Amino acid sequence: GEDVEQSLFLSVREGDSSVINCTYTDSSSTYLYWYKQEPGAGLQLLTYIFSNMDMKQDQRLTVLLNKKDKHLSLRIADTQTGDSAIYFCAVSPGGYQKVTFGTGTKLQVIP
């Protein structure tokens, strides 16, 4: 089955850029997502990208997709303390097939 890997932890200083990386195994993954989970809360969809795109920018968020290497990244510009959370990468072949989530990366923002 699909396997989605992320590093467990990332620490950055406030104002710096954060880059969270994700690798997946299934080349048929068509939809790729980034979710944010704040303490004690459910997951919140941040952004998503289709496999026919290389990049998507949404305000402070930039998603980069390297299909050849099956690598997805999320860049957060000007990281703020409110960005401290766990970030999940998720992929899906689309249609009615299930979405597979990564292990999550805990982002710690140091003031």
For residues 43 and 50, what is the distance between their CA atoms, to the nearest angstrom? Answer: 20
Question: What minimum distance in Å lies between the beta carbon of 7 and another protein?
Answer: 13
Pick out residues in 79-98 that bind another protein (CB under 8 A). Answer: 88, 92, 94-98
Only one residue has tokens 């402070």, namely 60
DSSP class of 70: T
Q: Which is nearer to another protein, 15 or 50 (CB)?
A: 50
Report 46-85 residues binding another protein (CB under 8 A): 48, 50
Residue 84's Cα: distance from chain center in Å? 14
Smallest gap, in angstroms, from Cβ of residue 88 to another protein? 7
Cβ-based neighbours of 82, under 8 Å, separated by 6 or more: none
- CA-based nearest residue to 32, from 82, 80, 102: 102
101 makes contact with another protein (CB under 8 A):
yes
* Residues at the contact surface with another protein, assessed by CB under 8 A: 31, 33, 35, 41-45, 48, 50, 88, 92, 94-101, 103-104
